[in-house]
Structures are given as C-alpha cells and as structure tokens.
Amino acid sequence: MRSNLSTALAIVAGLAIVAGFYFLGRLLSINLIGIIGILYALTMVGGGILRWRRGRKATDGLTNSSPQ
C-alpha cells in the first residue's frame, strides 16, 4: 500500500512540475523551460513506474517462492 502511495505521489508531483514549468514558459515566452520541465517530469514518472514494477516483482517472488 505504501509503495502505491509513493508511486501516486511521484506521478502527481511530475504532472504538477510539468504544469508549473509549462505555465512559467508560457508566461515568459520561453519554450526551453517547458521542455526541461517535461523531460524532468517524464523522468520522475518513469522512475515511479519502475519503482512500482520492481516492488511488484519483489512481492511476487515472496508469494510464489517454492517450498524448500
């Protein structure tokens, strides 16, 4: 449950950063800031998804472990 919460927070933070940089770029008429914001948010969202998949693999390994 905790990993799902952190993943959701990472995705929400990434979207908020994209929106913030996008509006800042529109305000200043600088597209570079928007591009940097989008790239940064994509890395954050990608990291959250990778962390979520890694956590699921770990739990799957624990539940499906063969008896010794």
**pLDDT per position as a tens digit, 12-23:** 888 888 888 778
Domain ranges of the chain: 2-56
> Which pLDDT band holds residue 6 (cuts at 50, 70, 90)?
confident
68 pLDDT above the threshold of 60: no
58-68 mean pLDDT: 56
15-54: per-residue pLDDT in tens?
A: 888 888 778 777 776 667 677 778 888 888 888 878 877 7
Count Cβ neighbours within 10 Å for each residue of 12-43 and write b for 16 or more, e otherwise. eebeebbeebbeebeeeeeeebbeebbeebee
Q: What is the DSSP letter of 65?
A: P
Tokens for 27, please give them. 């305000």
